[in-house]
Amino acid sequence: MSAAKRKVYGAAFKGKVGLEAIRGLKTINEIAQEHGVHPAQVGQWKKAILEQVGTLFEGKRGPQPIDAHSDPEHLYSEIGRLKVELDWLKKKVRSVTVETRRTWIAPNPSISIQRQCHLAGVARATVYAQRPEKPLD
């Protein structure tokens, strides 16, 4: 005695039978008998179609908008702009005295003191030497 193989139905067939059940022109039993499937199966396909009908038209037509911050061309232009601005600032900073530039350095959570010194063209050791130490209690 051999085991019966399970029938496999394609998506188009399931959709056709499910839509026929949704139309309601025939009973589920009539549809099942006509297509050679179990009535419970027809009911499941009908239910699946009705559950997914809300998502059918969710996607909009046309090209999807591209996030402006992830566009490589935009990012390269931003890097170029920032480099030009940094070069300009470095030229301007050279004309300011070192003592004035030392006053620009301050604790900042987003830029370390070492990086601030590098950007301002000030030796880090001179900044630490100029800071008054906290009095001990």
The two counts, helices (H) then strands (E), for the chain are 7, 0
- 64 found inside a domain: no
Note the pTM of the prediction, 2 decimals. 0.43
Q: Comparing C-alpha atoms, which of 41, 49, 55 is closest to residue 15? A: 49
- 88 found inside a domain: yes
DSSP 132: P
- 113 found inside a domain: yes
Q: Compute the residue count for the chain.
A: 137
pLDDT of 57-104, one tens digit each?
777 666 666 666 677 888 888 999 999 888 888 888 788 888 888 888
The letter for the amino acid at 135 is: P
Residues 126 and 87 in one domain: yes
Residues 6+ apart with CB under 8 A from 9: 37
- 111 found inside a domain: yes
Q: What local confidence, expressed as pLDDT, does residue 93 receive? A: 79
pLDDT of 23-62, one tens digit each?
999 999 999 999 999 999 999 999 999 988 888 777 766 6
Q: What local confidence, expressed as pLDDT, does residue 23 receive? A: 93
Domain count, the chain: 2
**Domain ranges, residue 118:** 82-130
